[in-house]
Amino acid sequence: MYTKHVAASVEETMELGRRLGERLKAGDVVGLYGGLGAGKTVFAKGIAQGMGITEEVTSPTFTLMRLYQAALPLCHFDLYRIEEEAELEHIGFNDYIGGDCVCVVEWAGHAPSLHPDICVHIDGSGDDERIIEISYKEDSDEYSLN
């Protein structure tokens, strides 16, 4: 399944993430793709809201991973600083993927062997509208945002 959305603001980007977050379940992996300033972290914040996480969600660019506890935990990765996929072993990346939490991975392209259940491609930056394309590994309506 594939959907395409246009977000004219930060709020609309976050709202789309929130709607997706409401539908996620344990073991789901969401890969976020897009350039600097595209809105990957904003989308991740929306996912966290949809999952009922109330604490402030920030990009884990320097820590590489943040775990947010909730009824369904969220493991938020930012792989921007990863240069080689082998580095992921040092942060326990594979221990979280497909586990008891939802994993959201910014810069998922830095882990070529990762095959997310949901791929979110965000195109745009600055004050421009965003084109957000979402593809799903499974052809199922359970994640549908329409």
CATH number at residue 52: 3.40.50.300
Structure tokens belonging to residue 52:
């009922």
Percent of the chain with pLDDT over 70: 95
In the chain, the number of structural domains is 1
pTM, full prediction: 0.92
The Cβ-side half-sphere exposure at 110, using a 13 Å CA radius, reads 19
pLDDT, tens digit (0-9, with 9 covering 90-100), for 63-101? 889 999 999 999 999 999 998 888 888 888 989 998 899
> How does DSSP assign 107-123, residue by residue?
TGGG-TT---SEEEEEE
Q: Which of 70, 92, 72, 88 has the alpha carbon at shortest distance from 80?
A: 88
Q: Where are the alpha helices (DSSP H) in the chain?
A: 10-21, 40-50, 93-96
**Structural domain of residue 42, as residue ranges?**
2-143
Q: What secondary structure letter does DSSP report for 84?
A: S
